[in-house]
Amino acid sequence: ATEVERLIAAGGRRAEWDAMHPERPWEGAIDEHIETIADEVGLLERSVALDCGCGATGVVSPRLLRVLGCRVATLNANPDGRFPGRPSEPAEGNLGDLMALCCARGTVGIAHDGDGDRMVAVDERGRYVSGDRLLALFATLLGVEGMAAPVDASMVLDDIIGRPVLRTKVGDAFVSEALKRTGLPFGGEPSGTFIFPSVSYCPDGILAGAYLLKLLEGRSLADMVDALPSYPSARDSFPFDPFRREEVAARLYEEISAIEGDLSTVDGYRMDLGYGWLLVRLSGTEPKVRLTVEARTKEDLGRTVELARSKVLKALD
């Protein structure tokens, strides 16, 4: 995002009208996509509630799941760029109808964002399952011994695979690049993007939803999620003067590097503390410092949040 903003500010490179490539429809693209996923996943027999959010997946995901053998109840499956059913972001606060339906019917729920590259879930008890928890669940069900995830993903992943996760910058493109470079079998982001290199290096919420149902193999999503380790975490943000961006970055480095631990500068400043970690990074979309903290106990979390906030505020002073 920062590079795009820089190019726009610099005026970019404008193409002449006759240098633009013409648009060409891809006839049969949906059929090919469904066929590819069906070949990878195989037949399923499961009831599922599906909320497409009036986005692009409405013409693909319900049809795919029925081809796979699922009994599908749909919400917001008619594409409409005004998103009349709910906001396109599949956040917990926007999925009340899906959560109520899953609770009433005792079925798994899947929700997509507007363009379909993300997927989150709802369990049979109507509870929201975030992208961060789904990352951990996929790592468990796939039995991977290595994976890629951004610096803001939970350390639960390291515990599950039994070794450090390959950490990347925040952004699914960076996760994809890491998977290509290393040959690792899986990666994703807490935002709900999941990448399965055996099929594609692009995040695909439709594929991820089908894969989730396949890997559950009839088991309860609620039970599987409850069995995952979970650590307390906290997030915060701090506005700053955008004209001070370079100064703020330098002062943050000075403050965070003074904390005892293992510092990574892959994206921002991530300090591994042994009992937890903290991440301080500049937002790529707005003039804010973003803080993420995770620890194994609430006591350690509270102490680390207080420490991290004091360091950030000192850097911004």
CA 131 to chain centre: 5
Among 11-20, 173-182, 294-303, whose mean pLDDT is lowest?
Answer: 11-20
Looking at residue 2, its pLDDT comes to 63
CA distance 106 to 169: 38
Looking at residue 179, its pLDDT comes to 97
CA 300 to chain centre: 26
Mean pLDDT of 172-193: 96
Residue 301, pLDDT above cutoff 60 = yes
Residue 290, pLDDT above cutoff 90 = yes
Looking at residue 76, its pLDDT comes to 98
Among 3-17, 95-109, 179-193, 194-208, whose mean pLDDT is lowest?
Answer: 3-17
CA distance 58 to 75: 9
Looking at residue 54, its pLDDT comes to 97
Kindly state the DSSP code that residue 107 receives in the 8-state scheme.
-
Looking at residue 177, its pLDDT comes to 96
Q: Which of 101, 49, 105 is nearest to 77 (CA)?
A: 49
Residue with tokens 């509630």: 49
Can you tell me whether residue 2 is helix, strand or coil?
Answer: helix
What's the token pair of residue 215?
């890997």
pLDDT tens for residues 97-141?
A: 999 999 999 999 999 999 999 999 999 999 999 999 999 999 999
Helix (H) or strand (E) holding 269: strand 269-272
Q: How confident is the model at residue 1 (pLDDT cuts 50, 70, 90)?
A: low
Mean pLDDT of 263-279: 97
Residue 3, pLDDT above cutoff 90 = no
In the chain the domains, ranked by start, together with CATH numbers, are 34-226 (3.40.120.10), 233-316 (3.30.310.50)
Looking at residue 160, its pLDDT comes to 95
Q: How confident is the model at residue 59 (pLDDT cuts 50, 70, 90)?
A: very high
Residue 164, pLDDT above cutoff 80 = yes
Looking at residue 11, its pLDDT comes to 73
CA 238 to chain centre: 22
CB 231 within 8 A of CB 294: yes
Percentage of the chain beyond pLDDT 90 is: 91
Residue 181, pLDDT above cutoff 80 = yes
Percentage of the chain beyond pLDDT 70 is: 97
What's the token pair of residue 205?
């919420």
pLDDT tens for residues 37-56?
A: 999 999 999 999 999 999 99
Looking at residue 66, its pLDDT comes to 98
Residue with tokens 């429809």: 25
CA 259 to chain centre: 29
